């Protein structure tokens, strides 16, 4: 993996060799790296200054012309070494795709920063010298001082701490700082350093996603995030989704290969985050990790095979406490690593951790819905007393994949569409304001709603070929609708949406809605009983609630009932790393939650088919939409 | 280290290259390997048949004459490869110096073999398959079945167990055997094997001595000792006693060298014991270890420096529970290793373990004395309510070292002496009945008493040169006494005892007695309050109680108050490995025991000087002796 550093923000991201600078910028959340032409190398708006490092330049005429000026086009230039680039026009806002989610969740969900109870904390001790009369061993005298501060608890340590204790204790006349981990079973001393006023005690919160790995280095005394890092999960080259990874891992050797790759990704982030702060990775003494069940199995070198074989059970949902050295995590070897507990094969610790960012685990009076939308969608319904969860395969359509004109939410993407004059005319907003290069997820949701409301497509998503509009064309003998003509698009080609695209989008929205409605049916409540809908995950951030309701993806509720909470898995790990109360809450969440396997529920197919309409076969479910059509 | 196998018993022992076969035989406890000439190579009584392997023959005329006959003299032949020898005359009784101590302690001290609670035990489970409805992970289903058998306890495991769980569980339709360790904190699952009727679950009891390492491989289900092994502690070449080892370990590199040597010794024994049973060392799942504080520090790679610097405190007395992999012990890597807790720098886990072989920790009504006599002597006085301990430097005089005519208790050694006719005549018994080659410890104690009772020496150990006996001679201008004339000794030289020898013996006996008496003075009780005196250690076995009282080494108590309990450290580890009750008892022993540093007690020198008389300056302490003189 190579590191690219973006100036002036100094944001860093790790990517494989050959990655386009623009893709790296997108991963690093560089909001102002615009691709108006959709990354075709034609507009020259994505020029960046190459400050340091080697790249493979593109072959467009513009690129050739720039060869001597240290300027490269981000969308055409591939990274072949560690590089540093400067974003032109100083528009780099340092917005990160992952890692900014703490700003999206309300303070009430964060632990009290004034009285943190992190996984590991520092205790300063003054240990008296031994005396002939007393004969307490070095360790016994440490224990006695700890007991004065902590009360009568069982205090243990490990051999590595004892190996340096005799000299550490005598280095500053018995003044030491002990890093301790305390739980219901007692206290474990993880490290003893000579003297007081230890500079810092650090932990890492880690979210291991199928595609992206995100890490926050935390000062455990203050709760402050001192470094944030994200990179691809290096496993992606061996399979893009959970199922393909499980298939790959069928032999111990291949499982081990996946294990090494994800460890490499995580350990690179750890070392880079440590380097950001000029500390050693060995100075990090705790880790809290969340991730889906398959990712956690691969991180632990556990065979994931039975996750995808009926009856779909993992080896473990609640990972026993382990130390860094046991799994090869590159922090202090005897550090405890805790994991957000999973519920089942398809509702993992990323979901239980995510719930810490919501009212669900603490409020018994109302009912809440939690939606983590990605390639897989996970749904939780409930409150502090009961929780139901399920998973659905949403597919990547809203991420622009599998849609002819789909693209990520970057400059040049249509993010808002209006259909006028019974389908004859279209107006739209483009991110950046230039010619459109494609349509991003929010634009697609909006487009689908507009096409439907204005009668361009019918309830089942078929084009109404009778409408009087020259935008209705035929491509390869199939109907399509022109959003913008070639003359006005960035790449000089018609920007169209096909019936296959619409089907794809409808399958995705139907999967999400039907899963939600079925889980509610299981409890016997309807949408109006839901006080709040939490939307988590990278994609959710760009959804326009109005549009999502219009197409029947989200329920027809007042808009202020929806809250976006970002990468709640990472935020949940951050919270759990800092708060004993929340760690206990996580265990309660996992034990209370019931998992429903939609695949084995005969009603699911009915609910899914009923949701393959716009907005739904049962229009009464969408009263505000009904008034529009 | 090389292995020597003695036929016909098949006893094996490991020794360094260059060791005499006779010394190896002594270490292996081959009782019938006689050295009537004291190992001078003159009598030819120690001939053994060399069945296999290479040796370095001696240079005596007898040895040369035997060169073509596969016969070698054990006392003259050094081992240079793994060898097998056959003891002539089939007198090998397989008596071992270490490892037979179980037969010396009374059954009441052993755990109830019908209901053992070993450190690790096997539990057979039938784990139901998962179902779509339930979604319990593999580990959760194992936990649920364990809870049915063990009740509501906290159940944990480690990642190595989980890595094979999915396949193990499915190999025999959910039938598994779990190896579990249970204590007050809960249950830890150490290993899971497919199926029931697992052949065996094994543990090792280990005694790490300064000179000798002893191991017993135990079938934990039955409590049966399935293999016993002893060898030298490979550290001996870097220092013969505790103090020299501590001095050697002043740098981390040299500490590490000592650490590797003792691990090598222990791991060789483990592998050999496993091979005896045709199992893999990885099939051993628990270890209980006892040893003196310095040996345990060296085994754990803990710097021992402060053990011998005032105020003499070790890093640790109660070693936290650790796993085999943490210290490099060659049994299953995640095996728990527990240690007999120490009390202080000079009263270690070998002593607390040894007390398990006595009534001290369980009887509150009487008072007992425990004496572990070796190069260092450790003494414990007390009962279940209170215990006082101290250590004294006894020196190796009774092991024959530092005494002109001293030798180990082997054939040719005078073990009993009678002085007659006011010192004019001497009669004695020789082990084996031939001409005497030297005097062993019991003979020396007996001789010292006889010389005193018959007025050959006075109360302070000086020869009475006035006695009318030609046995009183002068050697190098100093007085000496002839026990046997050259014509009747094995080596054709006068067998004499010098005043220096007598001083040496008196220092040893004074150190032991004064330590005992001072510890009693601390409590304010006298010898008559002691119900029983337990004598532990290799040397103790040969002591004649009558003689030891006569010289004032042991107190003047009825003889039936003395009990010899052998290598009680090893036996204690054996007991603790098999019994939870005794493991808890060990912790209580260590916490109750008060250590008294004799060196810092001003009364010790007085008590020692008072004991440098025969039997003592205060003859009233020895009423039965008083009647004899």
SS3 B133: coil
* Closest residue in chain B to residue A344, using alpha carbons only: B135
Cα–Cα distance measured from residue B145 to residue B122, given in angstroms and rounded to the nearest whole number: 14
Q: Specify whether the CB–CB gap between A15 and A27 falls below 8 A.
A: yes
Integer CA distances (angstroms), A435 to A348, A400, B5, B291, in order: 42, 18, 91, 82
Residues B523, B377 share a domain: yes
Between B628 and B177, name the one with better pLDDT: B177
Cα–Cα distance measured from residue A137 to residue B341, given in angstroms and rounded to the nearest whole number: 12
φ and ψ at residue A36, rounded to 5 degrees: -55, -35
Decide which of A500, A521, A548 is a domain's last residue.
A500
Does residue B510 sit within a domain?
no
Q: Which residues of B touch A303 (CB under 8 A)?
A: 163, 166-167
How near does any CA of chain A get to the CA of B136, in Å? 7
* Closest residue in chain A to residue B256, using alpha carbons only: A163
Q: Residue A288: which residues within 8 A CB-CB, separation 6 or more?
A: A119, A203, A204, A205, A206, A337, A338, A339, A340, A573, A574, A576, A577
Name the residue with tokens 């690129």: A63
Decide which of A317, A332, A351 is a domain's last residue.
A351
How near does any CA of chain B get to the CA of A507, in Å? 25
Closest CB to B314: pick one of A132, A137, A595: A137
How near does any CA of chain A get to the CA of B147, in Å? 16
Residues B282, B166 share a domain: no
Between B411 and B39, name the one with better pLDDT: B411
Name the residue with tokens 């996580």: A586
Task: Please work out, in degrees rounded to the nearest 5, the angle formed at the alpha carbon of residue B585 by the alpha carbons of B579 and B591.
Answer: 150
What pLDDT does B90 receive?
32
Give the total number of structural domains in chain A: 5
Residues B381, B298 share a domain: no
Decide which of B139, B161, B194 is a domain's last residue.
B194
pLDDT in tens, A27-52: 887 766 655 445 656 555 677 888 88
What pLDDT does B49 receive?
82
A-to-B residue pairs, Cβ atoms closer than 8 angstroms: 143
Q: Which residues of A touch B129 (CB under 8 A)?
A: 311
What pLDDT does B98 receive?
30
Cα–Cα distance measured from residue B598 to residue B590, given in angstroms and rounded to the nearest whole number: 19
SS3 sequence of A119-163 = CCEEEEEECCCCCCCCCCCHHHHHHHHHHHHHCCCCEEECHHHHH
Name the residue among A150, A155, A157 with its Cα closest to residue A191: A157
Residues B162, B144 share a domain: yes
Question: Is B162–A300 a contact, with Cβ atoms under 8 angstroms apart?
Answer: yes
Cα–Cα distance measured from residue B454 to residue B469, given in angstroms and rounded to the nearest whole number: 12
* Closest residue in chain A to residue B348, using alpha carbons only: A137
pLDDT band per the 50, 70, 90 thresholds, residue B96:
very low
CATH number where B267 lies: 3.30.420.480
How near does any CA of chain A get to the CA of B245, in Å? 17
Q: Residue A313: which residues within 8 A CB-CB, separation 6 or more?
A: A306, A307, A344, A345, B130, B135, B136, B137, B138
Does residue A151 sit within a domain?
yes
Average pLDDT, chain A: 88
> Which of the 8 DSSP states describes residue A20?
B
Closest CB to A162: pick one of B162, B315, B600: B315
Does residue A578 sit within a domain?
no
pLDDT in tens, B20-78: 888 888 788 776 665 544 565 655 567 788 888 888 877 654 555 455 567 788 888 89
Question: Is B132–A310 a contact, with Cβ atoms under 8 angstroms apart?
Answer: yes
Range of the domain at A86: 2-90
Does residue B112 sit within a domain?
no
Residues B609, B480 share a domain: no
Residues B409, B369 share a domain: no
Q: Specify whether the CB–CB gap between B65 and B59 falls below 8 A.
A: no
How near does any CA of chain A get to the CA of B272, in Å? 27
How near does any CA of chain A get to the CA of B196, in Å? 21
Closest CB to A159: pick one of B305, B306, B327: B327
Residues B405, B390 share a domain: no
pLDDT in tens, A282-321: 999 999 999 999 999 999 999 999 999 989 999 999 999 8
Q: Specify whether the CB–CB gap between B442 and B430 falls below 8 A.
A: no
Is there a cis peptide before residue A516, judged by omega within 30 degrees of 0?
Answer: no
Question: Is B303–A167 a contact, with Cβ atoms under 8 angstroms apart?
Answer: yes
Q: Mean of the pLDDT values across residues A422-447?
A: 89
Cα–Cα distance measured from residue B154 to residue A421, given in angstroms and rounded to the nearest whole number: 69
Does residue B37 sit within a domain?
yes
Does residue B106 sit within a domain?
no
What pLDDT does A36 receive?
47
pTM of the predicted model as reported, rounded to 2 decimal places: 0.78
Q: Mean of the pLDDT values across residues B461-486?
A: 92
Cα–Cα distance measured from residue B359 to residue B534, given in angstroms and rounded to the nearest whole number: 9
Residues A331, A235 share a domain: yes
Integer CA distances (angstroms), A364 to A382, B140, B441, in order: 9, 27, 81
CATH number where A44 lies: 3.10.20.30
Residues B460, B325 share a domain: no
Cα–Cα distance measured from residue A299 to residue A260, given in angstroms and rounded to the nearest whole number: 8
Question: Is B166–A138 a contact, with Cβ atoms under 8 angstroms apart?
Answer: no
Cα–Cα distance measured from residue A347 to residue A61, given in angstroms and rounded to the nearest whole number: 50
Residues B385, B324 share a domain: no
> Which of the 8 DSSP states describes residue B463?
B
Name the residue among A359, A401, A411, A373 with its Cα closest to residue A91: A411
Give the up-direction half-sphere exposure of residue A335: CA atoms within 13 A in the CB hemisphere. Answer: 28
Question: Is A166–B306 a contact, with Cβ atoms under 8 angstroms apart?
Answer: yes
Closest CB to B158: pick one of A305, A312, A322: A322
Q: Which residues of A touch B312 (CB under 8 A)?
A: 132, 135
Does residue A581 sit within a domain?
no
CB atoms closer than 10 angstroms to residue B61: 10
Residues A211, A189 share a domain: no
pLDDT in tens, A560-613: 898 888 889 999 999 999 999 999 999 999 999 999 988 888 899 999 999 999
Hey, which residues does A378 pair with through a beta bridge? Answer: A372, A391
Question: Is A138–B313 a contact, with Cβ atoms under 8 angstroms apart?
Answer: yes
CATH number where A537 lies: 3.30.420
Q: Which residues of B touch A342 (CB under 8 A)?
A: 137
Question: Is B300–A345 a contact, with Cβ atoms under 8 angstroms apart?
Answer: no
Task: Please work out, in degrees rounded to the nearest 5, the angle formed at the alpha carbon of residue B370 by the alpha carbons of B369 and B372.
Answer: 150
Residues B147, B81 share a domain: no
Does residue B543 sit within a domain?
yes
Q: Which residues of B touch A320 (CB under 8 A)?
A: 156-159, 162
Interface mutation target, options B128, B139, B328, B594, chain A, most CBs of A under 10 Å? B139
Lowest-pLDDT range of A253-257, A372-376, B349-353: A372-376
Closest CB to B163: pick one of A135, A301, A597: A301
Average pLDDT, chain B: 88
Cα–Cα distance measured from residue A332 to residue A325, given in angstroms and rounded to the nearest whole number: 8
Cα–Cα distance measured from residue B280 to residue A56, given in angstroms and rounded to the nearest whole number: 56
């Amino acid at each position: 993996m190579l590191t690219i550093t973006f100036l002036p923000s100094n944001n860093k991201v790790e990517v494989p060799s050959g990655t386009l600078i623009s893709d790296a910028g997108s991963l690093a959340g560089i909001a102002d790296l615009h691709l108006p032409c959709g990354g075709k190398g034609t507009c020259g708006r994505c020029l960046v200054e190459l400050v340091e490092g080697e790249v493979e330049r593109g072959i467009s005429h513009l690129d050739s012309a720039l060869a001597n000026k240290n300027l490269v086009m981000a969308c055409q230039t591939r990274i072949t070494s560690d590089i540093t680039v400067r974003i032109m026009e100083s528009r780099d806002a340092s917005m990160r795709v992952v890692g900014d989610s703490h700003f999206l969740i309300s303070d009430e969900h964060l632990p009290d920063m004034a009285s943190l109870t992190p996984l590991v904390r520092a205790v300063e001790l003054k240990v008296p010298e031994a005396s002939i009369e007393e004969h307490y061993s070095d360790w016994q005298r440490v224990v006695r001082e700890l007991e004065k501060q902590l009360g009568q608890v069982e205090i243990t340590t490990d051999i590595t701490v004892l190996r340096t204790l005799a000299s550490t204790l005598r280095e500053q006349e018995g003044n030491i700082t002990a890093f301790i981990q305390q739980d219901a079973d007692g206290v474990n001393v993880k490290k003893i350093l000579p003297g007081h006023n230890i500079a810092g005690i650090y932990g890492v919160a880690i979210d291991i996603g199928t595609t992206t790995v995100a890490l926050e280095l935390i000062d455990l005394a203050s709760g402050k995030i001192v470094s944030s890092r994200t990179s691809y999960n290096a496993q992606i080259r061996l399979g893009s989704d959970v199922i393909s990874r499980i298939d790959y891992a069928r032999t111990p050797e291949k499982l081990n290969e996946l294990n090494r790759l994800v460890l490499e990704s995580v350990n690179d982030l750890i070392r880079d985050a440590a380097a950001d702060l000029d500390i050693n990775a060995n100075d990090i003494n705790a880790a809290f990790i969340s991730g889906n069940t398959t990712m956690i199995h691969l991180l632990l070198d556990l065979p994931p095979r039975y996750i995808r074989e009926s009856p779909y059970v993992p080896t473990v949902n609640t990972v026993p406490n382990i130390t860094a050295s046991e799994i090869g995590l590159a922090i202090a070897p005897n550090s405890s690593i805790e994991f957000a507990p999973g519920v089942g094969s398809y509702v993992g610790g990323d979901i239980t951790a995510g719930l810490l960012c919501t009212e669900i685990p603490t409020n018994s009076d109302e009912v809440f819905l939690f939606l983590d939308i990605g390639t897989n969608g996970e749904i939780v319904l409930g409150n502090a007393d009961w929780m139901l969860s399920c998973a659905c395969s949403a597919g990547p359509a809203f991420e622009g994949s599998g849609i002819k004109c789909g693209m990520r939410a970057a400059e040049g993407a249509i993010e808002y569409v209006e259909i006028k004059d019974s389908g004859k005319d279209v107006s739209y907003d483009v991110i950046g304001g230039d010619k459109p290069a494609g349509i991003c997820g929010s634009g697609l949701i909006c487009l689908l709603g507009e096409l439907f409301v204005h009668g361009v497509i019918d309830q089942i998503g078929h084009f109404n070929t009778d409408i009087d509009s020259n935008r209705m064309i035929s491509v390869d003998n199939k109907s399509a609708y022109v959003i913008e003509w070639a003359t006005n698009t960035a790449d000089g080609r018609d920007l169209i949406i096909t019936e296959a695209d619409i089907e794809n989008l409808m399958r995705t929205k139907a999967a999400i809605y039907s899963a939600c409605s079925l889980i509610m049916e299981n409890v016997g409540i309807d949408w109006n009983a839901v006080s709040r809908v939490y939307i988590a995950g990278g994609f959710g951030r760009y959804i326009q609630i109005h549009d999502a309701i219009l197409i029947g993806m989200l329920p027809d509720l007042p808009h202020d009932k929806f809250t976006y909470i970002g990468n709640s898995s990472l935020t949940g790990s951050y919270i759990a790393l800092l708060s004993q109360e929340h760690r206990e809450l996580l265990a309660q969440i996992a034990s209370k939650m019931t998992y429903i396997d939609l695949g084995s529920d005969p009603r699911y197919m009915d609910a899914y088919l009923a949701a393959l309409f716009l907005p739904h076969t049962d229009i009464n479910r969408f009263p505000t939409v009904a008034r529009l059509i």
